[in-house]
Amino acid sequence: MKTIIEVRGATLQALFLIGLCIAMMVVDHRFQHLEIVRTNISLALSPLRYLVSLPATGGNWLSDWFTSHTELLKENEALKSEGRILSARLQKLEILAEENARLRNLLGSSRKIADDVIVAELLSVDQNPYSQLIEINKGSSDGVEMGHAVIDDFGIMGQVIHVNPQSATIILISDPEHAIPVQFIRSGTRSVAFGRGSTRQLELRYLPATADIMVDDELVTSGLGGRFPPDYPVARVTAISEDKVRGFVSVLAEPKARLDSSREVLVIKPRQ
Amino acid sequence: MSQLKYLVIYLSLLVALVLMILPLPDWVQIYRPNWIALTLIYWSMALPKRVGLWFAFFTGIILDTSLGTLLGQHTLPLLLIIYINLNFYQRIRVLALAQQALYVFVLLLIDQVIVAWVEGILGRPTPLPTFFAAPFIGMLIWPWVFVVLRDIRRKALLR
């Protein structure tokens, strides 16, 4: 049988711990002080995380193993021809990049052209179905830092929000807490794209009704705010809705990056 | 040696953690029961002296770190349901499994509501229809969790 004193002790303990939790949540949300706790626990749990992503990796490995010879040959052929096309394009691009640099020099602006990148792979996709976080297999020991932009082959995916020695957490641009400064390529209008919690949609709010926007316009990073390097593709406009009363336009856009299916990503290190 | 047998508690929680972070297709995720809560409820019911509030606290922090949520977001509801459990376990322990399952459903729902609350405060409202899915599955799974963990506890001679 429990005595009254025992029950009261448990209640006090519960109240104390619950208070501690609330304090931790506030601190974790506003400041960076708890990052060290998170990092250490993550480090201790990292074998577990690799264990968990093993079935997916194993599945890939098995399907690679059993791919037939002819299929491999076919794939090899396709990759070779793709490689040829890409290298041809690259030559053109290099010439353009040089020309661009020359012109920028002429204009006296010192915008950097190329950024350093780190290639990383996804570990497990985060389990909270309502937030858009992913985990990658490169961390501070590989040079990944907080705030680095992450892209896949098609466009911006997100940015680094937690770094552990061997892994890092990425917040996708589609997370409702995330906003990315963008620019319309065609008209040069600048705006900010917010996530909506769906990997297929971004939203640009409160654009002036007079702004020059059309469906299918391309959005790139504007580089304002200093987090994302400029001129990387972000999204394509899919719908425009006008608020006649308040004179604003809000725009829906579809992210270029394959937020839900890319397995290899690039972390961009800004050059000093 | 006598401390060694308590390892099974940690091992069972480790398995629960793996089940919590195992990647699943999107549409299955909302049905994923809170394995950690289920396991903790069992142990705090069976060994309330050993698995109490501090135990729930540290488990919760580890869960929050692995899920990438705010530190405390899953810990707070775990504390609350373990506290409720510590007050009622003597009455619940003697009930039939089906009746226990109903009680577990209520606890899991409380957990879910608080986690969703915090998400809401952070600006990510949870769609309501998906709300009951995970606790419901948790309720259906409870009898199996109970039987498996009880057998493990008996094998390990824990009491």
Q: What is the DSSP letter of A264?
A: E
User: CB neighbours of B38 closer than 8 A, spacing ≥ 6?
Assistant: B16, B104, B108, B138, B141, B142, B145
- For position A114, what pLDDT does the model report? 60
A-chain residues within 8 Å CB-CB of B124?
Answer: 130-131, 176-177, 197
B54 touches chain A (CB under 8 A): yes
| Beta-strand runs (E) in chain A | 116-125, 133-136, 149-151, 156-163, 168-172, 179-184, 190-195, 202-208, 218-221, 233-243, 248-255, 264-269
Q: How many CB atoms neighbour CB B117 within 10 A?
A: 14
* Mean per-residue pLDDT of chain A: 83
Backbone angles phi, psi at A84, to 5 degrees: -60, -45
Residue B136 has pLDDT above 80, yes or no: yes
Give pLDDT tens digits for B81-133.
999 999 998 899 889 999 999 999 999 999 999 988 888 887 777 777 677 88
Interface of A with B in 129-148 (CB under 8 A): 129-131, 133, 135
Put simply, the chain B residues between 88 and 117 with a CB less than 8 A from any chain A CB are none
Tell me the β-bridge partners of A265.
A120
Distance in Å, alpha carbon of A126 to nearest chain B alpha carbon: 6
Interatomic CA distance for residues A239 and A143, integer angstroms: 39
Tell me A245's DSSP state. Answer: T
**Cα–Cα distance list, A89 to A83, A92, A94, A125, B102 (Å):** 10, 5, 9, 34, 64
State yes or no: ipTM above 0.95.
Answer: no
Q: Amino acid identity, residue B68?
A: G
Instruction: Give chain B positions within 8 Å (CB) of A34.
Output: 71
CATH of A179-255, one of 3.40.190.10, 2.40.10.350, 3.30.930.10, 1.10.760.10: 2.40.10.350
Looking at residue A252, its pLDDT comes to 93
pLDDT of residue A3 exceeding 70, the answer is no
Higher model confidence: residue A127 or residue B38? Answer: B38
Chain B residues whose beta carbon lies within 8 Å of the beta carbon of residue A56:
23
pLDDT band at A271 (very low <50, low <70, confident <90, very high): low
Give residue A264's pLDDT: 82
**A45 and B65: CB-CB below 8 Å?**
yes
Half-sphere exposure in the Cβ direction for A105 (13 Å, CA): 6
Question: How long is chain B?
Answer: 159
Distance from CA of A7 to the nearest CA of B (A): 8
Q: Which 8-state DSSP code applies to residue B144?
A: H
Nearest to A25 among B30, B32, B72 (CB): B72
* Rounded Cα gap, residues A191 and A179, in angstroms: 10
Q: Which range in A3-7, A37-41, A231-235 is most confidently predicted, on average pLDDT?
A: A231-235
Identify the residue whose tokens are 């919690």.
A197
Note whether A56 and A125 are within 8 A (CB): no
Determine the average pLDDT of the residues in A222-248: 87
- 3-state SS, B1-35, equals CCCHHHHHHHHHHHHHHHHHHCCCCHHHHCCCCCH
* pLDDT, tens digit (0-9, with 9 covering 90-100), for A240-259: 988 878 888 889 999 998 88
pLDDT digits (tens, 9 = 90+) for B73-90: 999 999 999 999 999 988
What is the length of chain A? 272
Cα-trace Rg, chain A: 24
Cα–chain-centroid distance for residue A104?
29
Q: What is the pLDDT of residue A5?
A: 58
Is A91 an 8 Å CB contact of chain B? no
Q: What is the pTM for the complete model shown?
A: 0.66
By CB atoms closer than 10 A (0-12, 13-18, 19+), residue B57 is buried
pLDDT tens per residue across span A130-169: 678 888 888 888 889 988 999 888 889 999 988 888 888 8
Min Cα–Cα distance to chain B from A14, Å = 7
Identify which has the larger pLDDT, B53 or B1. B53
Query: Is the pLDDT score of A59 beyond 80?
Result: no
Residue whose C-alpha is closest to residue A268's, from A237, A242, A232:
A232
Residue of B31 and B108 predicted with greater confidence:
B108
pLDDT of res. B80: 94
